[in-house]
Amino acid sequence: MHKRLFLSSVLAATGAALTQGAHAGADAWPDRPIRLIVPYPPGGTSDNLGRLVADRLGANLHATVIVENKPGGTTQIGTELAARSAPDGYTLLLGAVTAFTVLPHLRRKLPYDPKTSFDAIGAVAEYLSVVAVRKDLGVATLAELVKLARTQPGKLTYGSAGLASFGHIAGEIIQRETGIRLLHVPFKGSADAVAALAGGQVDMVIDGAAVPLIKAGRVVPLATFGNIRHPELPNVPSLPDTGFQIARPTGPSWALLTPRGTPAAINARLSQALHALLQEPETQARLRRISTLPDWRPPGELQQAIQSDYRFYADLLPKIGLQPDS
């Protein structure tokens, strides 16, 4: 009897010590730099977004947040690295939501589980893509582009940042919804695709990276690929403004996540800090300048949005010819 009481006391004391230690660790966090993994190369929209989030998140947490670019595998390499990192609050992922909604349908084996490898912190931003064409194509509206494409099935080209990139899938969605046929030309990134548009090597892109060229008058915008107008291009219509009812995913483009098992108290602080920074007027202005808009959604809503877009792509991808391991 005495032995059982002694053992119970020891176990209770040990449990209390572990609980106190966990709370103490969460209370002390962060006491060293935090790394934010961005699964894209430097210089693009995702990198610019990551550096903005790192800057403002660090300010709100009174910590240093360092961006680590880990590109490759259509975001797979960086996402895997984050999934395999210690769940201690010192590794964050600026996750492309396509890593959880598109890649699972295209890769037979992923080195992370889209449903169980991460804890959701919150949605970050929506990408504002613009449908833009070369100046000498002779079209000024989306309706004119569709009319021209119908007279030349499979002849007009559109460039993208690569196979299964947002621009690629957006082009496939437009073809499916309007009944036209275009020829996809994948590049290594948005910068290359937009440069090809400016140089006349492709007829069209669907990419926010085209905005500077639009402002400079070097390419022609037809519409934003979304339900709202681009704040930097107020005279360019949105898709609904053009009269085309084109089905598209409704979730955010980027989300902040931590490796599964990160202490709940740390995740809660991260979520609060992310929400706060997305409400800052200066942060919102900086987001607009890189063709993004704040798209805050708390963890539960983010998970629902990811599940909804997962189902959207499960239906869409086979219909546009994108199969597993393609």
Residues 187 and 115 in one domain: no
Rounded Cα distance between 170 and 120, Å, is 26
Residues 100 and 177 in one domain: no
Residues 267 and 220 in one domain: no
Does residue 262 sit within a domain?
Answer: yes
For residue 8, the model assigns a pLDDT of 46
Residues 117 and 143 in one domain: no
Residues 148 and 99 in one domain: no
Residues 43 and 112 in one domain: yes
Residues 141 and 171 in one domain: yes
Does residue 172 sit within a domain?
Answer: yes
Q: Helix, strand, coil: what percent of the chain each, to 5?
A: 45, 20, 35
Phi-psi group of 243: left, alpha or beta (phi > 0 → left; psi -120 to 50 → alpha; rest → beta): left
Residue 72 sits in a domain whose CATH number is: 3.40.190.150
Does residue 113 sit within a domain?
Answer: yes
Q: Residues 169, 173, 174, CA angle at the centre, nearest 5°?
A: 120
Query: Cβ distance 284 to 226 under 8 Å?
Result: no
Does residue 16 sit within a domain?
Answer: no
Rounded Cα distance between 124 and 131, Å, is 23
Last residue of a domain, one of 191, 210, 225: 225
Q: Where are the beta strands (DSSP E) in 141-280?
A: 157-160, 183-186, 204-206, 219-224, 254-259
Residues 81 and 217 in one domain: no
As for how many domains the chain has, the answer is: 2
Residues 54 and 139 in one domain: no
Residues 121 and 256 in one domain: yes
Rounded Cα distance between 95 and 171, Å, is 23
Residue 180 sits in a domain whose CATH number is: 3.40.190.10
pTM of the model as a whole: 0.84
Contacts with 18 (C-beta within 8 Å, 6 or more apart), sequence order? none
Residues 36 and 103 in one domain: yes
**What distances in angstroms separate CA 289 from CA 105, 148, 284, one per listed residue?**
32, 32, 9
Rounded Cα distance between 231 and 139, Å, is 23
Per-residue pLDDT of the chain (326 residues), as tens digits, is 444 444 444 444 444 444 444 444 567 899 999 999 999 888 878 899 999 999 999 999 999 999 999 988 888 999 999 999 999 999 999 999 999 999 999 998 899 999 999 999 999 999 999 999 999 999 999 999 999 999 999 999 999 988 888 899 999 999 999 999 999 999 878 888 999 999 999 999 999 999 999 999 999 999 999 888 999 999 999 999 998 888 888 899 999 999 999 999 999 999 999 999 999 999 999 999 899 999 999 999 999 999 999 999 999 999 888 888 74
Does residue 207 sit within a domain?
Answer: yes
The residue segments making up the domain with residue 215 are 130-225
